[in-house]
């Protein structure tokens, strides 16, 4: 029996220093996910194209909290794109992205990125 190989990608946006400096913003999905540079897309579309050319599919773990980072609906578009290209989409979360949204709204928030350390109501 040949060995199995699983190809996975985390699909997320960097906080871009926004926690440490309120003048900064998280990196937008256009750059972090789609890889837009001038007129080219060197991120997700390029990865999917390479996978398709090789007859492969991968699992993409997609971060769910980009709405809270100030980019509503962006990851929904990403999920639709991946599914249209017969790729596997799974959940990937960083609670600190949700907490950033709470902080931006002036609401109380924990400073934690470990799900196990959060109370169920957080």
36-37 and 8-11 strand pairing: unpaired
pTM for this model (two decimals): 0.83
Q: What is the pLDDT of residue 74?
A: 94
| 2: in domain | no
Q: 8-62 pLDDT, tens per residue? A: 999 999 888 887 888 999 999 999 999 999 999 999 999 999 999 999 999 999 9
| 57: in domain | yes
pLDDT band for position 119 (50/70/90)?
low
| 3: in domain | no
Q: Cβ neighbours of residue 75 under 8 Å, at least 6 residues apart?
A: 11, 29, 33, 62, 63, 64, 66, 67
The better pLDDT of the pair 19, 120 is held by 19
Q: What is the pLDDT of residue 29?
A: 95
| 25: in domain | yes
Domain span at residue 72 reads 8-117
The whole-number average pLDDT for the span 101-110 is: 81
| 122: in domain | no
Number of domains making up the chain:
1
| 52: in domain | yes
Cα 14 from chain centroid? Answer: 8
pLDDT band for position 116 (50/70/90)?
low
Q: 69-82 pLDDT, tens per residue? A: 899 999 999 999 99
| 44: in domain | yes
| 108: in domain | yes
């Amino acid at each position: 029996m040949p060995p199995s190989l699983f190809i996975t990608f985390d699909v997320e946006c960097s906080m871009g220093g926004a926690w440490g400096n309120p003048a900064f913003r998280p990196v937008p999905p256009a750059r972090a996910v789609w890889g837009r540079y001038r007129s080219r897309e060197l991120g997700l579309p390029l990865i999917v194209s390479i996978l398709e050319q090789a007859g492969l599919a991968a699992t993409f773990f997609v971060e769910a909290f980009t709405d809270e980072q100030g980019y509503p609906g962006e990851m929904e578009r990403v999920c639709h794109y991946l599914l249209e290209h017969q790729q596997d989409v799974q959940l990937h979360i960083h609670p600190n992205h949700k907490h950033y949204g709470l902080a931006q709204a002036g609401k109380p928030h924990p400073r934690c990125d470990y799900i196990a350390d959060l109370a169920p109501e957080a």
